[in-house]
């Protein structure tokens, strides 16, 4: 019975750590760039685009398709960086736990 109480305490402790980690991941900011820095996108740890900066030299009518492609590329770059930072935070929290490789925690 004592083991069950100890295990329940550890579960509650892990739950509190997970909630804290989720808040920290939401606060992550990652910046992606495309076109040599002509387009910059900032996303949070939940892959939500927060900001976009476009170099004024790209505002030409005949360059619209290029600009659209650069925005998509910068957003992808930022999301990959945010996911990598979130994965690192998750690894830090779950270090030593027997979690199968590639298992994604629900958040």
Alpha-carbon span 4 to 2, nearest angstrom: 5
Confidence (pTM): 0.57
35 torsion bin: left (phi>0), alpha (psi -120 to 50), beta (else): left
Specify the pLDDT at position 96: 63
Specify the pLDDT at position 105: 56
Parallel, antiparallel, or unpaired for β 29-34 and 39-44?
antiparallel
Those residues whose C-beta lies under 8 Å from the C-beta of residue 44, and which sit 6 or more positions away, are 26, 27, 28, 29, 30, 50, 82
Specify the pLDDT at position 45: 83
Can you give the pLDDT of all 107 residues of the chain as single tens digits? 567 777 778 888 888 888 888 888 888 898 999 999 988 989 888 878 888 888 888 787 777 788 888 888 888 888 888 888 888 887 777 776 665 656 655 54
């Amino acid at each position: 019975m004592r083991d069950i109480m100890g295990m329940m305490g550890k579960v509650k402790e892990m739950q509190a750590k997970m909630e804290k980690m989720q808040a920290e991941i939401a606060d992550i900011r990652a910046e992606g760039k495309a076109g040599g820095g002509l387009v910059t996108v900032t996303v949070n740890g939940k892959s939500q685009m927060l900001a976009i900066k476009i170099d004024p030299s790209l505002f030409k009518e005949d360059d619209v398709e290029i600009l659209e492609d650069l925005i998509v590329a910068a957003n992808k770059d930022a999301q990959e960086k945010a996911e990598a930072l979130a994965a690192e935070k998750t690894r830090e929290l779950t270090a030593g736990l027997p979690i199968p490789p590639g298992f994604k925690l629900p958040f």
